[in-house]
Structure 1
Amino acid sequence: MIQFKLEGEFIPLIQLLKATGLVGTGGDAQAAVTDGLVKCNGEVEFRKRYKVRIGDVITFEQDKIEVI
């Protein structure tokens, strides 16, 4: 599990995927979200600009990101 320390109130979902290195580009992140490959707190998330906040757990493929 990856722990990501949030520096502000929130981070957009596609930026989080890039910041953690799970995708190479913003386009890759957008495609992953559009294709339904990303879950937020166990639910498939299709909103690219979803505001990820402290306490959220994001799942992408086999990787989990815990936002702290």
Structure 2
Amino acid sequence: MIKLDQFLKLVGIAQTGGQAKLMINDGDVKVNGTVETRRGRKLVSSDQVTVGRQTFKVGDVIQ
């Protein structure tokens, strides 16, 4: 498992934890199609994270 803010940094969407926090708080991040505002949300391999037009499947990134 990985936390949402850490995942955003890992895939390069956010360069810092602070930037990830702002994106999440502003409602710019969706998990499985639903806006997620908890930066500590734990992601599992089947989750999909969408920011703008980019969608990442957690299991494809985390091996």
TM-score by length of 1: 0.84
Q: Which has the higher helix share?
A: 2
Residues 1:22 and 2:26 aligned together: no
1: CA distance between counterparts of 2:14 and 2:31? 16
Instruction: Please tell me the residue identity of whatever aligns with 2:19.
Output: D
Identity among equivalent pairs (%) = 39
Query: Once superposed, which parts of structure 1, at least 4 consecutive aligned residues long, lie more than 3 Å away?
Result: none
Q: How does 1:29-48 map to 2 (within 5 A)?
A: 29-48=20-39
Residue from 45, 56, 59 that aligns with 1:54: 45
Question: Match of 1:5?
Answer: none
TM-score where L is the length of structure 2? 0.90
